Amino acid sequence: KSHWLRASDKCGSTVSCANFSKPAPTTKLFIDGKFIDSKSSEWLDIHNPATNEVISRVPKATQQEMLSAVNSCSQAYLSWSETSILTRQQIFLRYQQLIKDNIKELAKMITVEQGKTLADAEGDVFRGLQVVEHACSITSLMLGETLPSITKDMDTYTYRLPLGVCAGIAPFNFPAMIPLWMFPMGMVCGNTYLLKPSERVPGCTMLLAKMLQDAGAPDGTLNIIHGQHAAVNFICDHPAIRAISFVGSNQAGEYIYERGSKNGKRVQSNMGAKNHGVVMPDANKENTLNQLVGAAFGAAGQRCMALSTAVLVGEARSWLPELVERAKKLRVNAGDQPGADVGPLITPQAKERVNSLIQSGVEEGAKLLLDGRNVKVKGYESGNFVGPTILSNVTPDMKCYTEEIFGPVLVVLEAEDLDEAIKVVNQNPYGNGTAIFTTNGATARKYTHEVDVGQVGVNVPIPVPLPMFSFTGSRGSFRGDTNFYGKQGIQFYTQIKTVTSQWKAEDATLKSPAVTMPT
């Protein structure tokens, strides 16, 4: 373990940052296999969301540094793309073991930079680790196709080949899982990778990069730059970058999709959400209420798959008081404190925004059944805490419904029957995830069949697919046509070459030119 603490110091991240005396340690760039200090004159402070203390600083990489990073990717691609698939597989087999051995160190880093509870942070790492494990199946996943004898002496076969340099732009809310959706899948296919983590939580990515290097990834196969808009524009514009994976808000995602596509790149863009949990009166009440509360307020609601909207159908409307009682029992505290259920929001601005969306609901006529705006956390008075909040009597025209709140706020709508509930969900522009709670198979089947949302849970509140499937958010939550990880992830990071070959016996040689189209 101490090896990893030293390693993290070396790569410019520190697990125990809170103990560091001033000036705050700086986050390094990772270029051509070296963790280097940026020469930038522009730096951003990174805060612990539970205290708002500055724990580290991150540079906005200079143009020259970004160019060095992409050139390193281009140079490394020449040999990495020719490295045997078995060698790449072995590197990722070692990588998954290193991540497994260091889950707790990674989780500590996540909690100190992002704020979520330690147990939840371990889940963040674990769900990313599963993608790395899946990447280790690359020898089966990258198989091409063959069709022999399409005509006499002629066979057709396809190869699945890497694209070149690929890039990833990540959000703040899953500092391990989402970078791990990106570079392992891209690299195991034979691409090299340029990653820009969220400028608010870069530490975990730096630890992951160090572990990848220790697993044997050659210099230049992964490069990491930091920054905001200039770094994003650089990625969208640089001609060597063939594909961009983005996860984050709609504002950034739509912009990146358009700018990257215009420059001829493949872009997959996973964006915001408003996920509805439809509660039928025949559902298992105990189970459903617990699942709803967990999925609405876990990670302080800062999950793209948070169940942020409940639609209570028929008699289930009478369950509201019990829902409130359960939400009240959650403990709001700093993520590293024992027993914490709900940690802080990422920034004071995020807290401000969430509070104002709650207020807008009140002003537009919603009923504030539980108000978490004035929550006090002893010893963490300066943290960005908002307690569990429930707004009922919400209607689809209210701002608290039309906007993604991304905080610990559950908005509750009501419906007479299943058809009305389905209509509400389908009229919402987002299509990331949804869940239905019922004990009736026919009801569940009707819902899964008719609802126009990319990921559906039946008595499963957060139906994020395991990596042998793909993350299939749809409509307003996604731009692009090939999703993250699973078979679709392999498709995104590869291109097909189709070979048609003819090997004739000598006596079958053509006697004259064939000028008609072969049939």
Closer of 83 and 349 to ligand NAD (Cβ): 349
Decide: 202 and 13 in contact? Cβ < 8 Å: yes
Q: Which tokens go with 307?
A: 């169940």
Decide: 269 and 418 in contact? Cβ < 8 Å: no
Region of 427 please: left (phi>0), alpha (psi -120 to 50) or beta: alpha
Decide: 406 and 386 in contact? Cβ < 8 Å: no
Helical spans, DSSP H, in 317-454: 320-328, 348-363, 399-402, 418-427, 441-450
- Active-site residue among 11, 17, 304, 400? 304
> Which residue has the CB atom at the shortest distance from ligand NAD?
248
Closer of 89 and 249 to ligand NAD (Cβ): 249
CB of 250 to ligand NAD, least distance (A): 7
Q: Write the DSSP symbol of residue 239.
A: T
- Whole-angstrom distance, CA of residue 419 vs CA of residue 161: 46
CB of 305 to ligand NAD, least distance (A): 7
Decide: 144 and 157 in contact? Cβ < 8 Å: yes
Instruction: List, in order, residues 6 or more apart from 263 with CB less than 8 Å away.
Output: 236, 237, 239
- Whole-angstrom distance, CA of residue 449 vs CA of residue 431: 14
CB of 231 to ligand NAD, least distance (A): 7
Question: Residue 335: how many CA atoms within 13 Å on its side-chain side?
Answer: 28
Annotation says 73 is catalytic: no
Instruction: List, in order, residues 6 or more apart from 336 with CB less than 8 Å away.
Output: 50, 108, 111, 112, 117, 118
Closer of 269 and 389 to ligand NAD (Cβ): 269
CB of 218 to ligand NAD, least distance (A): 26
CB of 519 to ligand NAD, least distance (A): 47
- Whole-angstrom distance, CA of residue 291 vs CA of residue 277: 10
Characterize 121-148 residue by residue with b for buried, 16 or more Cβ atoms within 10 angstroms of its Cβ, and e for exposed: bbbbbbbbbbbbbbbbebeebbeeeeee
The closest of 165, 176, 175 to 128, measured between CA atoms, is 176
Closer of 47 and 196 to ligand NAD (Cβ): 196
Characterize 330-362 residue by residue with b for buried, 16 or more Cβ atoms within 10 angstroms of its Cβ, and e for exposed: bebbbbbbeebbbbbbbbeebbebbbebbeebe
Closer of 221 and 275 to ligand NAD (Cβ): 275
Closer of 328 and 399 to ligand NAD (Cβ): 399
Instruction: List, in order, residues 6 or more apart from 458 with CB less than 8 Å away.
Output: 435, 436, 438, 444, 447, 448
What sign results for the dihedral spanned by CA atoms 203, 29, 246, 356?
positive
Closer of 316 and 462 to ligand NAD (Cβ): 462
Closer of 114 and 443 to ligand NAD (Cβ): 114
Closer of 4 and 471 to ligand NAD (Cβ): 471
CB of 168 to ligand NAD, least distance (A): 9
CB of 479 to ligand NAD, least distance (A): 11
Q: Which tokens go with 338?
A: 């024992």
> CB atoms < 10 A from the CB of 474, how many?
15
Binding site for ligand NAD (CB under 6 A): 169-174, 196, 198-199, 228-229, 232, 247-249, 251-252, 255, 270-273, 304, 404, 406, 432, 471, 473, 477
Instruction: List, in order, residues 6 or more apart from 250 with CB less than 8 Å away.
Output: 271, 272, 476
CB of 438 to ligand NAD, least distance (A): 25
Q: Which tokens go with 265?
A: 């790149």
CB of 206 to ligand NAD, least distance (A): 15
| Cα Dmax for the chain | 92
Where in the sequence numbering do the catalytic residues fall? 304
